Amino acid sequence: MSARKQLLLKRHRKNKRIALLIALVSLLLIGVLVSWWLVPLLLVLGWIAHEAWFADHLFYRPRDDYRYEFPADAMHYPARIEGGRLVLPDDFQPADTLVLEVQLQASWLGRWLDPQVWIDADRQDFERGVAGRRYLNLSGQHELLGQGALRLHGRFCRLSNDATLHAMRNPDYSERRLLIIAPHADDAELAAFGLYSRAHDVAIVTLTQGEIEAEGYQRLGLDPAAAARLKGRLRVWDSLAVPLWGGVPQARCVQLGYYCLQLPAMAEEPGRAFASRESGEQDIRNVRQHNPFSLPADTDGLPSWQNLQADLRALLEHFRPEVVVTPHPELDPHADHVAATRALYQAIEEGEWMPETLLLYANHLHDNDRWPMGPAEGGVALPPAIEALPADRLWSPTLDAETRLNKAMALRMQHDLQGPPSLKKRLRRVIQATLTGRRWPRTGDDEFFRKAVRLHELFWVREL
């Protein structure tokens, strides 16, 4: 977890503790001054209200503006929303990625129900109580835009009449030589299944075994270390086998076998080996035997940053990618994700092969654990950016219904996404479905089935 995410989480928990203290004092006063039996009733009602309306991890104010800058080659068109239609100037030129900057204002119902913007048949959701600048994803709507027939309307929110359409043109990166960096098994599928399943020349490199947090496997009668080893083996298998569902053969998949949540420590002490926190293992070779070719760290099996660097340099030279897909270093706060892209940058700088482009993705966020908000199958609006990001170009390819279904099935094969939700999460979902109308997909219980199986995938384009 990054320092900023830790600070946001600390502030969030502090505010919750203050609110809880005020609520408890109020309940005690009610019990003393009114009637004792109201206290348990109000406790139950308060818990239900919390689960329905206050359980989201939102580390900013809904009235904060999102802050995005776009590159110099982006085109910007003044737009109007008139009679529910988006009206563009006559000089509008179609582009593959279209982002509409608009002011949103929640209605009174939008403080209790998720504000929605409907873009023809697509739905994109925003924070309850939203009152600020937001960015709708109009990619894939080129035909209706060209006809002047694209309709927009808000539900539980109002859209400003004035807007700005940002248009960005990209090549089809699925036609380039691709290398996908996945810190853990499932990261490639979450971020880029649609992309890699239609690519002609793609390789997937997974950096870690993903062996930690294996408590569920202890129910099989295993001690914690054995459970972690089993989970690591299963996720290693996922990283090599699941991409075949998207057309990527095992010969184009590489598992490096480093240990989960140890990448940041490795980066700080490059020459030191960092064993697994939970499995007790310290030799990465035991999960690399199915790799299609030998790598430098196969010599001694040490889980060190120096070995990771040597592996990445060798992989870049072997696959010679034109485009590398990797976590967004400023937007995705997961410690392993930040370290993975840091390792890639260093390997490019010190190695022999120079890719042309990075496609950056975010499977996690600093500010909002629900992004992309709203139900599965909807579009992907731009994520919260309360602090300005680099002015990267965006590329947002669309996924047809068959690809979305295949992506969901690829996620179902991932062992880390198969476990049932906790009782607390199941109760929360029942309460939210009943009181706020939220819905979860039938394809899987994990939250990523809602967040990742969408009309769009979204990448930030950074030229090297």
Vertex 376 angle, CA 414 and 13, to 5°: 80
pLDDT in the model for residue 6: 64
The Cα 240–Cα 372 span in angstroms is 27
pLDDT band at 14 (very low <50, low <70, confident <90, very high): confident
Give percent above pLDDT 70 in the chain.
Answer: 95
Q: What is the pLDDT of residues 210-260, one digit of tens each?
A: 999 999 999 999 999 999 999 999 999 999 999 999 999 999 999 999 999
Give the domain 173-433+447-463 fold. Rossmann fold (3.40.50)
Question: Radius of gyration (Cα) for the chain, nearest Å?
Answer: 24
Nearest of 190, 181, 164 to residue 358 by alpha carbon: 181
* Site of tokens 């590159």: 71
Per-residue pLDDT averaged across 31-39, rounded?
70
Residue entry with tokens 């819905």 = 439
Q: What is the mean pLDDT of residues 86-106?
A: 95
pLDDT tier at 134, thresholds 50, 70, 90: very high
The helix (H) or strand (E) run that includes residue 103 is strand 97-106
| pLDDT over 70 at 154, yes or no | yes
Phi-psi region for residue 407, left (φ > 0), alpha (ψ -120 to 50) or beta?
Answer: alpha
Establish whether the linkage from the previous residue to 372 is cis, with ω within 30° of 0.
yes
Tell me if 383 sits within 8 A of 58, measured CB to CB: no
Q: What is the pLDDT of residue 9?
A: 66
Residues 341-383: pLDDT tens digits? 999 999 999 999 999 999 999 999 988 989 999 999 999 999 9
Q: Do the Cβ atoms of 247 and 221 come closer than 8 Å?
A: no
Predicted local confidence at residue 247, as pLDDT: 97
Q: What average pLDDT does the structure give for the chain?
A: 93
Q: Where are the beta strands (DSSP E) in 328-381?
A: 357-361
The more confident residue out of 330 and 14 is: 330
pLDDT the model gives residue 5? 57
Determine the pLDDT at residue 1.
42
pLDDT at 29: 72
Rounded Cα gap, residues 365 and 4, in angstroms: 11
* Mean pLDDT value across residues 16-36: 71
Strands 177-182 and 459-463: unpaired
Which SS3 state, helix, strand or coil, does residue 173 take?
helix
Residue 145 tokens read as 């835009």
106 by DSSP, 3-state: which? strand
How much is the pLDDT for 19?
72
Amino acid at the residue 228? A
Q: Is the torsion defined by CA of 385, 386, 387, 388 positive or negative?
A: positive
Q: Are 395 and 359 in contact (CB under 8 A)?
A: yes
For residues 190 and 411, what is the distance between their CA atoms, to the nearest angstrom?
7
Tokens standing for residue 280: 């007790």
Q: Using DSSP bridges, classify how beta strands 75-82 and 85-87 pair: parallel, antiparallel or unpaired.
A: antiparallel
What residues contact residue 12 under an 8 Å CB cut-off, 6+ apart?
A: 57, 59
The C-alpha atoms of residue 308 and residue 329 are separated, in whole angstroms, by 18
Chain centroid offset of residue 333 CA: 10
Using one digit for the tens of pLDDT, what is the confidence trace for 384-411? 998 889 999 999 999 999 999 999 999 9
Question: What pLDDT sits at residue 369?
Answer: 87
In this prediction, residue 35 has a pLDDT band, given cuts at 50, 70 and 90, of confident
Is residue 33 predicted with pLDDT exceeding 80?
Answer: no
pLDDT-derived band at 2 (thresholds 50, 70, 90) equals: low
Confidence check: pLDDT of 109 > 70: yes
pLDDT greater than 60 at residue 185: yes
User: Which helix or strand (DSSP H or E) is residue 107 part of?
Assistant: none
Is the pLDDT reported for residue 123 higher than 50? yes
- The answer to whether the beta carbons of residues 63 and 132 sit under 8 Å apart is yes
- Please give the pLDDT value at position 4: 60
